[in-house]
Structure 1
Amino acid sequence: MPENRKVPRRIARTVLNSLKGGVVPRIGLPYVTVGRKNEIQALLHDVDIISEGGASFRFIVGRYGSGKSFLIQTIRNYVMDRGFIVADADLSPERRLQGTRGQGLATYRELIGNLSTKTRPEGGALTLVLDRWISTVQMQAAQESGLMPGDPGLTKAVDRKIFEVTAQLSELVHGFEFATLLSRYYHAYVQGDDQTKMKVIRWFRGEYSLKREAKEELGVNIIITDDDWYDYLKLFAVFFRLAGYAGMMIMIDELVNIYKIPNSITRQYNYEKMLTMYNDTLQGKARYLGIIMGATPQAVEDRRRGVYSYEALRSRLAEGKFSRPGTRDLLAPVIRLDPLNAEEMLVLCGKLAAMHADLYDYEKQVSDEDLAVFVQLEFSRIGADANITPREVIRDFIELLDLLYQNPELDIRSLLESEDFSYAKSEAVSDQKTDAYAEFTL
């Protein structure tokens, strides 16, 4: 991005508000992306494999606030620009990979609800994708046959092309029912039957709870359940490719919510589902599908409750003997994020200062020397080498910019060098240690 290119005000406001609130913005990430070049290149290498019919599975591991979710959202934007459909979800006590009360199905529903494309990046793109697919097939059939819309012969030609797609899906697990519903959606689209279209969408979203209801309304004797929801994501990935997209990328963050499950058997069932997904992608049982999961180091490496407590996963994912901080194997299944260094944070703060000045229409008053003093102070606090994260630094810096904007009489150097600032930072580091201890001794 050129240095002199201004960030649109709507995007700047969203980015600054999100970062100050400690969350990752959905838009505007290219304007503030710093570092992570090697990690992004490694993940984009997977994208090439997926678009050629392969599959991939990656864990992105980093401490809270280390930029893990930021990297996931950055990749999300990259792959949408490359013609992928993206589905993302955060795990929670109500959303897991497997559960006794439908938590796995809840994750599936969240993923399908968040289906996004380049033209519909905010989610809810399923109906758009289906309608676009049908329109594309109709156009192709018209061009190949030379027939005009309304001609009965054109309808038959479109039927044949729809069958070609559904026939390829019928060979997969649950593919026959999936293909049947695609065909039903097509005919409802042609006939203007919006009620049937919505019933099919409801089925695809996993909202039917009774087989009898699905049978009566749609003629299929099967529904998506907590046990088999992942099979339907594999079907969607192949269908999206046939519908003209490059592939499908699934992003599941907050894996720590599996780590927190108190019941060991329930945790093991979730890790078993994770193993199935991992094996499918590496063994060629999934096509045009990428999976990225975000986790904290404890959620992965803890031998008692983490991913590594499941031996089949630990033996596949454990880091080799030669990787170390600063020299990581980024082609391995697990990408461990090293902290951003002071130079990278300096560049990021410079970007934020320029964005803030443009948004509120004032002459940028924070000099490069001021930025250097701020970053140096942040990185020189007691315990900063082990506890400081981009989230805390960014939040502090945006707050500083807001204060200076609202109080023009304040001087940045006097704020940075004040005893109150030093005391607050010491307290923040202490609180981080306490929070970390409490979080992972539950």
Structure 2
Amino acid sequence: MNINEGQQILRALHNGSVPAYEGAKYIMCGHEEERDAILEDLDYIKFKSNGDSHSGFKMIYGPYGSGKSFLCEVLKEEALKDNFVISEIVISKNTQLHNFETIYNKIMVGMRTNEFREFSAFRIIIESWIEKEKSEIISKYNLDPDDNEEDEEKLIARLEDKISLELAKANTTNVSIVNAVISFCTGLLRGDNTLAQKSLAWFAGDTNIPADIKRSIGVKGSVDKGNVFEFLKTLLYIIEKSGYAGLLVIIDEVETVRKERKDIRYQAYENLRLLIDMVSKDNLPGCYLLFTGTEELIEDEEKGIKEHDALYTRIEPIKLGDIRILEQPLIKLSRFDSSQLIEVSKKVRHIHGIVHGWNPESKISDEFIGEYVRSFTNAFGKEVSILPRTFLRNFIFILEAAKKEPMSKIKSLLNISEEQIEEVNKQIELYGREVAMEMEL
């Protein structure tokens, strides 16, 4: 870890956030078995040169503060380093699971690669594929499209034929999908960025494209529940041809569905069932779906997944006493405990020393950390589940103060202020425990 990475970790924790991508792995405590099980799944489903590719899914759930976000960040980093394309969706009022069109569009917008992490990488991905096909055609037919207009036209014509042939291998029968990819290619080669961008926008699920633009692209309609899986299969084929290992899609905060009215909940759970069926049958090769949610999503009889019998029977765990079988569809994460708070505190202390060039152990000893964790958890009735991010935010302050102030002042901070306790308790009283934990964590 370098100083810049350490600074990013400390800033994220200071703001009450989970460090993004690689930063999370440096302070991850616990859940190594769950991480390894999912990484093993990713290795199984990735594209194979012999065509023996698969798809899969897992649902991780647990209370707030159980480490779902940390685990997902670590998995994203590992997947990116293994040459996967990733995309993360957070279910909310603006991104609803009952609307397949929105989910597909969010997958496209959220796509990232190891090299391109700040914006949607889909254009880079499809351009990479087209560039490979273009180079092969130029080499095969000895064309010089840069200096010869006739060769340029030959290149475009042969490239359009090749794209049609390749998409046929992906079982893309939707003419509009084929035309959109070809129009993007043509726009790219002719320098018509408007055509290229509009073609890409349509393929990415943009539903606000005018009729005249659609005609110029050669498409009709848009992505919908009836054709969304053909769009996804085409997307996966392009990802494979571009040389990537597969696609990891994280669908976060699925428990939000519980807040919808009954008919919308049912449709959302039905869409979840359809997605699970598709990957369970290897109908989306190279794709892995990772869902996250709270305990209520799984255990709530009235508004949770149990409300949809067909869905629940597909993921219902087989109980073998206290034996955990991580190969099952559902993985429950345990609560964050005091020993993990101590462990993560030591890691954060080490990072703080690297970033600021000092020896924090000279003031913040292991004994001090243990005592601070005890005082913090006791202040909240030993309910560690609401503490991790709140605790770490305060611990960063302790480290900052320890670097500048004498130890006599630092020891006084072992007493958690009434204001801190009051603030969390007020949120619990006003909004309920679930919302209060969400606000704090």
Q: Within the alignment, does 1:51 sit opposite 2:46 as a pair?
A: yes
Which residue is 1:178 aligned to? Answer: 177
List aligned pairs for 1:251-290, cutoff 5 A: 251-261=250-260, 263-290=261-288
SS of alignment partner, residue 402 of structure 2? helix
List aligned pairs for 1:12-27, cutoff 5 A: 12-27=6-21
SS of alignment partner, residue 219 of structure 2? coil
C-alpha spacing 1:408/1:137, structure 2 compared with 1 (3 Å): farther
Deviations 1:2-24 (A, max 9, x none): xxxx5332x32322222233322
Which residue is 2:248 aligned to? Answer: 249
Decide which moves more: 327-336 or 302-311: 327-336
Deviations 1:316-351 (A, max 9, x none): 222222154xx4221111111112444433232112
Q: Does the 8 Å CA contact 2:181/2:200 hold for their aligned counterparts?
A: no
- What is the distance in 2 between the residues matched to 1:186 and 1:44? 35
- What is the distance in 2 between the residues matched to 1:196 and 1:148? 24
SS of alignment partner, residue 88 of structure 2? strand
C-alpha spacing 1:202/1:166, structure 2 compared with 1 (3 Å): same
SS of alignment partner, residue 237 of structure 2? helix
- What is the distance in 1 between the residues matched to 2:250 and 2:58? 10
Corresponding letter in the other structure for 1:266: I
Q: Within the alignment, does 1:302 sit opposite 2:300 as a pair?
A: yes
Unpaired runs of 5+ in structure 2? 48-52, 437-441
Corresponding letter in the other structure for 1:122: E
C-alpha spacing 1:301/1:154, structure 2 compared with 1 (3 Å): same
- What is the distance in 2 between the residues matched to 1:431 and 1:299? 25
- What is the distance in 2 between the residues matched to 1:406 and 1:191? 62
- What is the distance in 1 between the residues matched to 2:209 and 2:43? 40
- What is the distance in 2 between the residues matched to 1:388 and 1:439? 11
Q: Does the 8 Å CA contact 1:381/1:425 hold for their aligned counterparts?
A: no
C-alpha spacing 1:410/1:144, structure 2 compared with 1 (3 Å): farther
C-alpha spacing 1:335/1:234, structure 2 compared with 1 (3 Å): farther
Q: CA deviation at 1:148?
A: 5.3
Q: CA deviation at 1:230?
A: 5.2
- What is the distance in 2 between the residues matched to 1:438 and 1:114? 27
- What is the distance in 1 between the residues matched to 2:291 and 2:359? 41
Q: Does the 8 Å CA contact 1:254/1:294 hold for their aligned counterparts?
A: yes
Q: CA deviation at 1:142?
A: 4.3
Which residue is 2:122 aligned to? Answer: 126
Count of matched residue positions in the alignment of Structure 1 and Structure 2: 422
Corresponding letter in the other structure for 2:169: Q
SS of alignment partner, residue 290 of structure 2? strand
C-alpha spacing 1:211/1:58, structure 2 compared with 1 (3 Å): farther
Q: Within the alignment, does 1:415 sit opposite 2:413 as a pair?
A: yes
List aligned pairs for 1:33-432, cutoff 5 A: 33-52=28-47, 53-99=53-99, 104-143=100-139, 150=146, 152=151, 158-159=159-160, 161-169=162-170, 171-172=171-172, 174=174, 176-209=175-208, 212-213=211-212, 215-225=214-224, 228-229=227-228, 231-261=230-260, 263-322=261-320, 324=322, 327-364=323-360, 365-380=363-378, 383-384=381-382, 387-405=385-403, 407-408=405-406, 411-416=409-414, 418=415, 420-421=416-417, 423=418, 427=422, 430=425
Q: CA deviation at 1:303?
A: 0.9
Identity of aligned residues (%): 23
- What is the distance in 1 between the residues matched to 2:392 and 2:324? 25
Corresponding letter in the other structure for 2:207: Y
Decide which moves more: 406-415 or 312-321: 406-415
SS of alignment partner, residue 285 of structure 2? coil
Deviations 1:366-388 (A, max 9, x none): 22222232234445556425635
Corresponding letter in the other structure for 1:293: F
SS of alignment partner, residue 335 of structure 1? strand
Corresponding letter in the other structure for 2:103: T
TM-score (norm 1): 0.85
Unpaired runs of 5+ in structure 1? 1-5
Corresponding letter in the other structure for 1:40: R
Decide which moves more: 238-247 or 295-304: 238-247
Q: CA deviation at 1:135?
A: 1.8
SS of alignment partner, residue 401 of structure 1? helix
Q: CA deviation at 1:76?
A: 1.2
Q: Does the 8 Å CA contact 2:65/2:336 hold for their aligned counterparts?
A: no
Deviations 1:12-63 (A, max 9, x none): 2322222233322224223222221101111111111221411111111021
SS of alignment partner, residue 201 of structure 2? helix
Which residue is 1:3 aligned to? Answer: none
